Amino acid sequence: MIVCVCHNVSDKAIRRAVDAGATSMQEIRAQLNVGNCCGKCASFAKTLVRAHLEDKGTAVTEVRRIPAAA
């Protein structure tokens, strides 16, 4: 199934990238350009990445930015 129409990226390609070591949507975006055009695929692609990481038993971590003090 094509996840990112703008860049013709399939769910299989995303899973392969995770299997090859990608651990975040940022890495998938950098490798495959997913979400770098219209952005409509980004939410589903992120869900796919998380689900595949969980299937693999890989811990999902998030890096949160702390807002600068005003």
Q: Which residues bind ligand FES (CB under 6 A)?
A: 4-7, 34-41
Which of residues 18 and 34 has its CB atom nearest to ligand FES in the complex? 34
Distance of closest approach, residue 59 Cβ to ligand FES, in angstroms = 26
65 phi/psi in degrees, rounded to 5: -85, 135
Q: Closer to ligand FES at the Cβ: 1 or 70?
A: 1
How near is the Cβ of 55 to ligand FES at its closest, in Å?
22
Helix 25-32 to helix 42-56 angle (10° resolution) is: 120
